[in-house]
A and B are shown apart, each in its own frame.
Chain A
Amino acid sequence: MLRGVLGKTFRLLGYTIQYGCIAHCTFEYIGGVVMCSGPSMEPTIQNSDIVFAENLSRHFYGIQSDFFKSHSYVPRGHVWLEGDNLQNSTDSRYYGPIPYGLIRGRIFFKVWPLSDCGFLRSSPNGHRFSDD
């Protein structure tokens, strides 16, 4: 009787650890779904949209380009971030360029709402970029 209960407890514990670890590996190395809040990425992502994020932080450093942007220099190993909603976004214009190491993943696919499901559109502020 006692042995049965103990065995069940250990098996449950084992399964919990196993699936917890599988979940960790998935979120850490593949990606996951994220629910967004806040207005800073409007109109590309609205408040409470659900998006899919791929966690490429381990092999997406290939896009290193040191570029000048509105007279501020982006140092090596850093990126310049801006919300699409320029009037209502706390971004690199406020805290400066951020290191690549802080990037958690790339968001590329919107899952919810279903009416707007699909790959994310390119930036509405594309004219602000300069590649030289």
Chain B
Amino acid sequence: MAQSQGWVRRYFRAFCKGFFVAVPVAVTFLDRVACVARVEGASMQPSLNPGGSQTSDVVLLNHWKARNFQVQRGDIVSLVSPKNPEQKIIKRVIALEGDIIRTIGHKNRYVKVPRGHIWVEGDHHGHSFDSNSFGPVSLGLLHAHATHILWPPKRWQKLESVLPPERSPMQREE
């Protein structure tokens, strides 16, 4: 009897010890280093979800690369939506602070991106809720860099940082 109690106690103690190591380490890793996310919607076609609604890609989000808020034009990034903070959006960075950009359907024809902000757009113009509707977004909303497509396996690839030539800023701040 006493022996079985000792066994239970030992087991419980080992479980607690493992729990207090594994959970904080896993949470910190997912918050700071990398996590995976499923992409919903058609806003990034054809780069992501090219098959429409039947398939949805799973991407690797690299938080470590975004820790200093360093982004390049053309990077695919995930952001906290400025309209709904519980939602994350995935878009391509088109312009950085100081750039002058020709907009598509924004209230102003030309926009100069203010300090500490970026201009993001989905690859699927007209089907994307992006900076053309909500304007430049603060860099503080940057969540992570999308670096790879992980799933489905046949779509496994690195996501290249390419700026569509027709969307390149009119004037770049160097």
A contacts, CB < 8 Å to B: 17-18, 20-22, 24-25, 28, 57, 61, 75-78, 98-103
CA–CA, A20 to B23, complex, Å?
Answer: 12
Given contacts A24-B32, A78-B82, contact A101 B141 (CB under 8 A): yes
CA–CA, A28 to B30, complex, Å?
Answer: 12
Q: Which residue of A18, A75, A78, A98 contacts B21 across the interface (Cβ within 8 Å)? A: A18
Q: Give the residues in chain A near B25, CB-CB below 8 Å.
A: 17-18, 21
Stretch at the interface among B66-74, B83-91, B121-129: B83-91
Instruction: For residue B129, give the distance in angstroms from its CB to the closest CB of chain A.
Output: 12
Instruction: For residue B165, give the distance in angstroms from its CB to the closest CB of chain A.
Output: 31
> Is there an interface contact between A21 and B24, defined as CB atoms closer than 8 Å?
yes
Q: Give the residues in chain A near B83, CB-CB below 8 Å.
A: 75-77, 99
30 residue pairs from A and B, CB less than 8 Å apart: A17-B25, A18-B21, A18-B24, A20-B28, A21-B24, A21-B27, A21-B29, A24-B31, A25-B24, A25-B27, A25-B28, A28-B27, A28-B31, A61-B85, A75-B83, A76-B83, A76-B84, A77-B84, A78-B82, A98-B138, A99-B83, A99-B137, A99-B141, A100-B85, A101-B79, A101-B81, A101-B82, A101-B140, A101-B141, A103-B85
Q: Give the residues in chain A near B79, CB-CB below 8 Å.
A: 101
CA–CA, A21 to B28, complex, Å?
Answer: 6
- In this assembly, does B150 line the interface, its C-beta being within 8 Å of a C-beta of chain A? no
Closest to A19 in B: B24
Closest to B139 in A: A102
CA–CA, A54 to B73, complex, Å?
Answer: 35
Closest to A99 in B: B82
By size class, the interface of chain B is 20 to 34
CA–CA, A100 to B27, complex, Å?
Answer: 23
Q: Give the residues in chain B near A77, CB-CB below 8 Å.
A: 81-85
A-contact bits for B6-28, CB 8 A (1 contact / 0 none): 00000000000000110111011
Q: Give the residues in chain B near A76, CB-CB below 8 Å.
A: 83-84
> Is there an interface contact between B85 and A22, defined as CB atoms closer than 8 Å?
no
Q: Give the residues in chain A near B140, CB-CB below 8 Å.
A: 101-102
> Is there an interface contact between B80 and A99, defined as CB atoms closer than 8 Å?
yes
Q: Give the residues in chain B near A102, CB-CB below 8 Å.
A: 138, 140-141
Q: Give the residues in chain B near A21, CB-CB below 8 Å.
A: 24-25, 27-29
Given contacts A24-B32, A28-B31, contact A101 B85 (CB under 8 A): yes
Q: Give the residues in chain A near B80, CB-CB below 8 Å.
A: 99, 101
Q: Give the residues in chain B near A99, CB-CB below 8 Å.
A: 80, 82-83, 85, 137-138, 141
Q: Which residues of B23-55 are within 8 A (CB) of A?
A: 23-25, 27-29, 31-32
CA–CA, A75 to B84, complex, Å?
Answer: 11
Q: Give the residues in chain B near A25, CB-CB below 8 Å.
A: 23-24, 27-28
Q: Which residues of B133-150 are within 8 A (CB) of A?
A: 137-138, 140-141
* 5 interchain residue pairs of minimum CB distance: A101-B80, A21-B24, A100-B85, A21-B28, A99-B82
